[in-house]
Structure 1
């Protein structure tokens, strides 16, 4: 089993999402013998945002006509999408930034969202090609948004895009209200710890799409 561990917060040791992904990976590997882990730190090694060079894989440019810059960017996109497709389990640290995900994580998603690799269009509409994976998202939030779904473009976005890729087993470990005082922070971390135990053990419900914090 291959596990891809992705962090996107630039806060280093101060990042709660990084603390949670580390604990998820530790719990998963402890309960699933033979798991190999590959690590991707998007805060340190984020792909560039899409531009005319990095869009080469989408524009259908013949390989012989690619510029050196386009060729380099295609190699980055190919490396990232191949890494994602090879993983059986993906653990993603996704803090909420301004109601959405960090720009580094969005840049990664834009690189792996490739027609013919992670999805395709058919006469019946889009079809995901990256199914069969388990994705566990460490979702951290300074405020409380469970009762304000209209403001959530973080978890809702990740559910949609991963579903578009064909991933149906998406689980959320949520720590919400981290900036709302020590008591709220303590409750959030306690709830997240319970989520980790539920999602990273062999007894976890494989059909679960999310878990309420």
Structure 2
């Protein structure tokens, strides 16, 4: 079997660290340098798709929808959102690591169908938390997949996003009857309670990493 080869590296802003893009035939993987395991793989994106589908399903009867996706990753959440939203929608993607955007415009783009080329897409380079604070009432849906979940893996600064202050900022950035959707690699009962304590109605959904019935069990919180 062919081995993965590193085809790109990208520095993580803030406290440093490095992401690596690896390729094996038509399969891609993103990993953190110096840590075992992988963050993302193009063969395992069922839960990233579900993040967008579950959130956007609640917007089906609206026009002029504007959504925010926190974390571009491999582009699958963005692609799934665009497939669900209407022609008059706008999908804003906040990505902290410029190299990840470059990968999606280059060798990685075909895996998700080049969603960055869609005219409804707008890329915002920088911290999604800053964007939330800048745009109160700006979005019908906010989909967050910026780390491994409420416990930051790639960057300690991500912890703020899942704190009561960060969740309050997300609430303020939602339009009336908007939805906040958050992806996690696993369960976190304490985080579920944290969402409720800031006044959100919460539904927790188990989804599979690969496809229905296959792959690791991930979690998505839908809050409004």
Under a length normalisation based on structure 1, what TM-score does the superposition of the two structures give? 0.39
Select the structure of larger CA radius of gyration. Answer: 1
Higher relative contact order (CA 8 A, sep 6+): 1
Higher helix share: 1
Higher strand share: 2
Under a length normalisation based on structure 2, what TM-score does the superposition of the two structures give? 0.38
